[in-house]
Structure 1
């Protein structure tokens, strides 16, 4: 099989727990790009943060951000955007604040972050501050819903960090019954992303690949999180990082090494070193478009 696109989740795949990108990872991604393979990021991060990662990797094309609801190469020129309406953003935020939680509204320009309740700040630091090298503008407020009363906002994604893991599935079930306009996606044992109905990493990836004329079976997807499972399962080659949860590994075609053992660059070099450059394959009529 000839692979024409490589899609990468950021956290746990490209960026390590210290917020850094290994030199070997940068070199491996550059190696693939030099072969004419399209490289993109598929992430639940906001666009501004993800774009800084893309620039560090010299990725100039569109990236899939906000869990699939915002796709762009430049912030002010999205090729796809889908947002939760202002009134529903407010209502869901108010509902989430009834739990022991911290709410974050992710906009392409900045995020609004609420005060963590019941001392869940330590967990929030672990979950949301790993990208400290790639932060974008954040506005911290005491109560997000009160802020929205004076500053209504439609957003691509609402994230919530919960102190009690048992609240995750209760909230998902409740939102499913309350709103047809959104989907609630668990991203860890303590976090949920709420996005516009029909939005997902997989659908964002399929939207972008179709625009680029790349077939699903020509895509390699590398992921490490629960929200990467659909894309790992449905692409031509699904790859799970070595430290990915068991349910992610179970859907992968290839389980690479851990980040500490340079799992991403190892996999890239193993897979792509035998593939001829895409321009050469087109010239030889192996690829016709």
Structure 2
């Protein structure tokens, strides 16, 4: 049993949910036991709010849901929107211009998230698979840059680039990281096939800090976080206890205090047994 943890924050994909896209019974049971000890549970995910909602409900969280890497924090019970930090419009247009030739060659597909809806140029196989797993309906709108240019009121919560060519995404991340400093854009990979861009302050570390300190009056040492990928690094480093899943890339494991078994081996349950139960 570890000190005074009052808040547990969990990632979804690769942490709570594996191939089945569901949370296994042992993990749900361990989360329920943690809640019975008076520890609050929250979700922090790169997913869309509407896609993450069922996981938030299944774990029985009473806290706001941190979606889109923390760019969008909303309480499902009261519908209060605590925070929305959209991608700066000019930067969204610059990213679209940079990526458009690659999309035209079918090297990748681009997803824009506006008003918690998925907007794409056209519905390709990658988008179909993504939408099916996410449980969302993509909107095919043609030219994404024109959509932004023609509608001054539109705010883009996140831009995601999806490709099976993971080396290409690595190159894109490297090039754009050199072009845009961290104070301009937050750039990350949430899974190998995704490259994501959000507002510079929209990352899970900032989101967890906001919920822990501003909403609950906690300090970092009262927080435990569990995640499995590069977009979880900030919240793993923020928390008093940061746990990486066994399937996480090595730099993520190195940024954690402990490495749990993988998602298919119910690593979250193992971590909760070790530290909280």
Residue in 2 aligned with 1:286? none
Q: CA RMSD in A?
A: 2.5
- CA-CA distance at 1:125 after TM superposition: 6.1
Relative to structure 1, the CA distance from residue 238 to residue 178 in structure 2 (aligned partners, 3 Å threshold; closer, same or farther) is: closer
SS at match of 1:156: strand
| 1:202 counterpart = 2:209 | no
TM score, norm. by length of structure 1: 0.82
Once the two structures are superposed, residues 177-232 of structure 1 have per-residue CA deviations (whole angstroms, 9 ceiling, x without a partner) of 26864222233444211101232111111111111111101111101112112221
| 1:228 counterpart = 2:229 | no
Unmatched runs of 5 consecutive residues or more in structure 1: 274-289
| 1:251 counterpart = 2:255 | yes
Map 1:1-289; keep pairs closer than 5 Å.
1-74=3-76, 76-99=79-102, 100-115=107-122, 121=125, 128-129=130-131, 131-132=133-134, 135-151=135-151, 153-172=154-173, 173-174=175-176, 177=179, 181-211=184-214, 212-273=216-277
In the aligned structure 1, how far is the partner of 2:228 from the partner of 2:34? 20
Relative to structure 1, the CA distance from residue 183 to residue 54 in structure 2 (aligned partners, 3 Å threshold; closer, same or farther) is: same
In the aligned structure 2, how far is the partner of 1:60 from the partner of 1:170? 40
- CA-CA distance at 1:242 after TM superposition: 1.8
Q: Figure out how many residues of one structure are paired with residues of the other and give that number.
A: 266
Contact 1:101 1:116 in 2 (8 A): no
SS at match of 1:44: coil
In the aligned structure 2, how far is the partner of 1:130 from the partner of 1:226? 24
Relative to structure 1, the CA distance from residue 256 to residue 94 in structure 2 (aligned partners, 3 Å threshold; closer, same or farther) is: same
Name which one, 1 or 2, has greater alpha-carbon Rg.
Answer: 1
In the aligned structure 1, how far is the partner of 2:270 from the partner of 2:172? 39
In the aligned structure 1, how far is the partner of 2:249 from the partner of 2:176? 26
TM score, norm. by length of structure 2: 0.85
Once the two structures are superposed, residues 130-181 of structure 1 have per-residue CA deviations (whole angstroms, 9 ceiling, x without a partner) of 734xx23421344433444555531121111135334334433336526864
